[in-house]
């Protein structure tokens, strides 16, 4: 879940944003604040991922408040004044919403957040779960996570490559990805998900996995390079 906070001195604006946030399952509203000082107290107590921040507020402008934060969350500015737009983007705001804010414009803004792939939005997998069941050949087949080498997407089908064989199931890559634990698997290409524990090496723009005694090279898509680099950094000695 993406922990969210609304900072605005207008009760009606807070009410509208709260209603919009409630329509996005991935967002969890942690706090509503009427000024920057209240918001600052919340940030000292809670890890906030996303802040909807009004600019024109008493005590301290939203832009000045953002400048004062050492490790700010992602920010979407909300204001009735379009002249603040340039300043907002100079502060690396994710987006700039002009009041009155429509639901359509709100959703576009949230989609920008999702497109950056900075949050793992997959549902949490039970810690003791080490397998999934997939439908193939008119059967439900149990597949242990440890046995999966990689997963390949082919239109509406998914091929699960294991140590012993391959399993072809009718579903999308996205639906299967949501069932896999993020600690064990990573999407490296539009058509490939790999088991982190089965990676032998990263060679140029490819992941190397040992498959039936031979090195299998899986391409790394341009849209997934940043996520892979983050993964490598976390595991470097």
DSSP 117-177: T-S--SPPPPTT--EEEEEETTEEEEEEGGGEEEEEEETTEEEEEESS-EEEEES-HHHHH
How confident is residue 182, by pLDDT bands cut at 50, 70 and 90?
Answer: confident
What's the mean pLDDT in 208-233? 89
In the block, tokens 């990573």 appear at 186
H or E element, residue 190? none
Token representation of residue 115: 């497109």
What's the mean pLDDT in 6-12? 95
What's the mean pLDDT in 97-126? 76
* End-to-end alpha carbon distance in the chain: 30
What's the CA gap between 225 and 91, in Å, rounded?
25
Whether 113 contacts 74, CB under 8 Å: yes
Strands 27-33 and 2-7 turn out to be parallel
What's the CA gap between 3 and 49, in Å, rounded?
5
How confident is residue 200, by pLDDT bands cut at 50, 70 and 90?
Answer: very high
State the pLDDT at residue 42.
Answer: 94
Does the structure show a pLDDT above 60 at 207? Answer: yes
Torsion of CA 4, 24, 34, 101, to 10 degrees: 130
Does the structure show a pLDDT above 90 at 7? Answer: yes
Domain 2-115 has CATH 3.40.50.2300: yes
Of 66-80, 116-130, 165-179, the poorest mean pLDDT is in 116-130
What's the mean pLDDT in 192-217? 93
Token representation of residue 77: 């500015």
Q: What is the average pLDDT value for the chain, to the nearest integer?
A: 87
State the pLDDT at residue 127.
Answer: 46
State the pLDDT at residue 72.
Answer: 93
2-115 and 131-235 have identical folds: no
| Percent of the chain topping pLDDT 70 | 91
Does the structure show a pLDDT above 70 at 236? Answer: no
Does the structure show a pLDDT above 80 at 128? Answer: no
How confident is residue 34, by pLDDT bands cut at 50, 70 and 90?
Answer: very high
Does the structure show a pLDDT above 70 at 119? Answer: no
How many other CB atoms are found less than 10 A from the CB of residue 86?
9
State the pLDDT at residue 1.
Answer: 82
Does the structure show a pLDDT above 90 at 77? Answer: yes
Looking at the domain 131-235, which fold is it? OB fold (Dihydrolipoamide Acetyltransferase, E2P) (2.40.50)
Please write down the long-range contacts of 80-88, taking CB distance under 8 Å and 24 or more positions apart.
80/56, 81/55, 81/56, 84/55, 87/63, 88/55, 88/63
Whether 41 contacts 66, CB under 8 Å: no
Torsion of CA 172, 217, 210, 201, to 10 degrees: -110
How confident is residue 43, by pLDDT bands cut at 50, 70 and 90?
Answer: very high
Domain-wise residue ranges, the chain: 2-115, 131-235
pTM above 0.75, yes or no: no
């Amino acid at each position: 879940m993406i922990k969210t906070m609304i900072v605005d001195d207008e009760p009606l604006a807070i009410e509208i944003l709260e209603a919009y946030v409630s329509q996005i399952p991935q967002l969890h509203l942690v706090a509503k604040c009427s000024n920057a000082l209240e918001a600052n107290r919340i940030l000292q107590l809670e890890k906030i991922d996303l802040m909807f921040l009004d600019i024109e507020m008493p005590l301290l402008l939203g832009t000045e408040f953002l400048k004062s934060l050492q490790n700010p969350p992602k920010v979407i500015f909300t204001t009735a004044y379009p002249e603040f737009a340039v300043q907002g983007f100079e502060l690396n705001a994710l987006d700039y919403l002009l009041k009155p804010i429509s639901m359509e414009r709100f959703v576009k803004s949230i989609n920008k957040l999702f497109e950056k792939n900075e949050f793992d939005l997959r549902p949490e997998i039970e810690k003791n779960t080490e397998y999934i069941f997939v439908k193939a050949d008119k059967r439900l087949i149990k597949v242990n996570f440890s046995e999966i080498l990689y997963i390949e997407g082919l239109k509406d089908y998914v091929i699960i490559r294991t140590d012993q064989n391959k399993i072809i199931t009718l579903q999308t890559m996205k639906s299967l990805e949501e069932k896999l634990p993020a600690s064990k698997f990573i999407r490296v290409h539009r058509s490939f998900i790999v088991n982190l524990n089965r990676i032998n090496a990263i060679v140029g723009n490819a992941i190397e996995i040992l498959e039936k005694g031979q090195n299998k090279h899986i391409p790394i898509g341009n849209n997934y390079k940043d996520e892979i680099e983050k993964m490598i950094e976390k595991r470097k000695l």
